[in-house]
Amino acid sequence: MQETAWQVSLVLMLMIAFGVVFVAINSGKREEEYGPLVKRAYSFRTKLFWAVALVFFPAMIYNLTGLPYSSKAVASSGPAEVINVTGHMWYWEMDRDQVEPNQPVDIRVTSADVNHGFGIYDPDLRLIAQTQAMPGYTNVIHITFPREGTYRVLCMEYCGVAHHNMMTEIKVGKS
């Protein structure tokens, strides 16, 4: 997902850069009659609007599939294992830290004091899931760990002077 976000961003940013450079290069020689130029530009803008709309609207709808708020994606694989997590300044309290790979897991996250962010990093240090740990609320991450290994948990919401040290681990499989 991160790779896709990066590449899509780069492409869009480069397209804008191309347009800006094109205009800058073509800015030196003056076309005195602005009216006809405006008409051509408005006509092109209408086409541009529809081009952007035809890309953005389907992308916007498509990206509403697979939202992390529901457990439907993993429900078919059987009953979920549960990890109860409470964030504290500045440590994580978890009632278990080992699960099996390819098994659905519900991670129920809350906080005992201030806001924290429960971020799960895979063995390659890539963020694969997160939710807010907020006092008074329990947010549930529905996840199936795809492979064995040690997954790191980092705090994703600034919570004070030791925020960056608020780390723990979830072991998946026998590792």
Considering only residues 116 through 135, tell me which ones interact with other proteins, judged by CB under 8 A: 117, 119, 121, 125-132, 134-135
104 CB burial (10 A radius; 0-12, 13-18, 19+):
buried
Q: Among the candidate windows 2-10, 76-84, 92-100, which touches other proteins by CB under 8 A?
A: 2-10
Least distance CB 74 / other proteins (angstroms): 14
User: Would you say 105 and 81 are in contact if contact means Cβ atoms under 8 Å apart?
Assistant: yes
Angstrom CA distances, 25 to 17, 32, 48, 58, stand at 12, 17, 20, 33
Among 84, 81, 152, 165, CA closest to 119: 152
Total residues at the site for other proteins (CB under 8 A)?
75
**Residue 164 binding other proteins, by CB under 8 A:** yes
Positions 13 through 52 that interact with other proteins (CB under 8 A): 13, 16-17, 19-20, 23-24, 26-32, 34-35, 37-38, 41, 45, 48-49, 52
Identify the residue among 80, 85, 94, 154 touching other proteins (CB under 8 A): 154
**Residue 137 binding other proteins, by CB under 8 A:** yes
Query: CA-to-CA distance for 83 and 29, rounded, in angstroms?
Result: 67
